[in-house]
Amino acid sequence: MRSTSFLLLGVASAAPHQFGRRDVAVSGSAEGFASSVTGGGSATAVYPTTTDELVSYLGDDEARVIVLNQEFDFTGTEGTTTSSGCSPWGTGSACQIAINQNDWCTNYQPDAPVVSSITYDAAGVEGITVASDKTILGEGTNGVIKGKGLRMANGVSNIIIQNIHVTDINPQYVWGGDAITVDGADLIWIDHVKTSLIGRQHIVLGTESSGRVTISNNEIDGQTSWSATCDGNHYWAMYFTGSNDQITMKGNYVHHTSGRGPKVGGEGNTALHAVNNYFGPSTGHNFEIGTGAYVLAEGNVFDGVPSPVEDSITGQLFTADDTSACTSALGRACVANSLVDSGTFSGSSSGILADFNSNVAAAESTSEVSSTVPSSAGVGTI
């Protein structure tokens, strides 16, 4: 499903500890809206060995190729925080607790049972700052960031994140932290990343413009011991609520979730091309489509999803039931979605297709999606 072209990157050779390392390369190229991303380009690769060194490389003003060949464990690096919270979804052991961040419990859940004292890891609350012109690559399955996410904000651009695993960010607690945040950025490619055991969002595009973003071949693993639905399926999967965002979401495996997988719209205009993703199993809904959302969904597989989309659609959705409607706008027919042991998924807003006539990703058959995506998405498969 992915391109066989490679962007070859240099390998550091000046330092003695770099000798003997194999060449490192970005695999494939971004499809869709972020197709022109180059990341760190041909910069000499660096291999951080400590959390401090990783933070420094990610945040400096040099173009970089940063290779992760070990686990970087941020738990405990910033101490712990103790605050109050609440239990809006129940008090059972399988239910997440909400931290009263920015008085969220006080303002939005005033009737929920109060939790007087919560102690959580402070490092997880805000992700590592990633500056412009960076490529972040994992070697095999070794590139792991534990206890802290990545954050691209405040005008940064041209960033590639590929083949890493972000995990264990205060999973018991809502508002405990996000895995990957994009908020006021452009040209971001997130590819072959696995996210698991996250307190809040696995991938979030914030209220500021996130520009052109491609999210491809990732595994959103919602299996957890604590969830807002108290059933082992994570509710807060993906949240795309920016302003004038253009998002390509292709070839992702989104499983064991119960909601917001993804939530689109609500703040500004967001065009989302969701193509060839594999959704399921789920205990709730995947798409939540709010005002300002324009969603073209084609060639996706829903397997064991009770509600592929929430009923209260206030944005616009086209699900390619009429596959010929795409021909004039996209230059090819659309691919219908596949629903297996799942609820209905249908939207006829074909007028939005003009929003997807530039850099549109290719669409493959749903049989190809079923046979390849669950095994090829995520870390360690390239």
382 residues of the chain, pLDDT tens digit each: 444 333 433 333 333 334 345 567 899 999 999 999 999 999 999 999 999 999 999 999 999 999 999 999 999 999 999 999 999 999 999 999 999 999 999 999 999 999 999 999 999 999 999 999 999 999 999 999 999 999 999 999 999 999 999 999 999 999 999 999 999 999 999 999 999 999 999 999 999 999 999 999 999 999 999 999 999 999 999 999 978 899 999 999 999 999 999 999 977 799 999 999 999 999 999 999 999 999 999 999 999 999 999 999 999 999 999 999 999 899 999 999 999 999 999 999 999 999 898 789 999 999 999 999 999 999 999 9
Ordered by start, the domain boundaries in the chain are: 6-72+125-376, 80-117
Q: Which of 2, 200, 212, 260 is catalytic?
A: 260
Q: What does the pLDDT read at residue 13?
A: 33
Which pLDDT does position 69 carry in this prediction? 98
The reported pLDDT for the residue numbered 1 is: 43
Q: What is the pLDDT of residue 4?
A: 36
Q: What is the pLDDT of residue 116?
A: 97
pLDDT attached to residue 85: 98
Q: Which CATH class is domain 6-72+125-376?
A: mainly beta
Separation of alpha carbons 84 and 93, rounded Å: 18
pLDDT number for residue 24: 79
Determine whether 260 is an active site residue. yes
Q: Which two tokens stand for residue 351?
A: 């007028």
What is the token pair recorded at 43? 């910069």
**Angstrom distance (rounded) from CA 153 to CA 170:** 22
